[in-house]
Amino acid sequence: MTTSKPVNASTLKRTLGTTPRQSAKSRLRGIEAATESRHLIDGLGALDDLLKKPGLRSNQRFLHQTRHAMLSRLADLTGTDVASLSTPELSGAQWVTRFPGSNSTDTLADAFRSGVEAFVGAMRMGGVSVTISATLRPVERAYLMHWSWIIARLGGNPKDVPQMDSVDILWDHGDAAASMQAAEDMVQRYGIVAEPALTSRHTQGLAIDMTISWAGNLAIAKRSGAATTITSKPRTGMNIDLIAVGATYGVIKAKFGNDPPHWSNDGH
Ligand SMILES: [Zn+2]
- Distance from the CA of 157 to the center of ligand 1, in angstroms? 28
- Distance from the CA of 134 to the center of ligand 1, in angstroms? 7
Instruction: List, for residues 19-68, the tens digit of each pLDDT value.
Output: 555 688 888 888 888 888 888 888 888 887 787 776 666 677 777 778 88
Fold entry, domain 91-268: Muramoyl-pentapeptide Carboxypeptidase; domain 2 (3.30.1380)
- CA 90: distance to chain centroid? 18
Domain chopping of the chain, boundaries: 9-87, 91-268
Contacts of 189 (CB under 8 A, 6+ apart): 93, 96
Q: Is the dihedral of CA 27, 30, 31, 32 positive or negative?
A: positive
Task: Report, as an integer, the average pLDDT of 222-250.
Answer: 97
- Distance from the CA of 261 to the center of ligand 1, in angstroms? 7
Instruction: List, for residues 158-182, the tens digit of each pLDDT value.
Output: 999 999 988 989 999 999 999 999 9
- Distance from the CA of 262 to the center of ligand 1, in angstroms? 4
Residue type, 68: H
Contacts of 222 (CB under 8 A, 6+ apart): 228, 245, 248, 249
- Distance from the CA of 251 to the center of ligand 1, in angstroms? 12
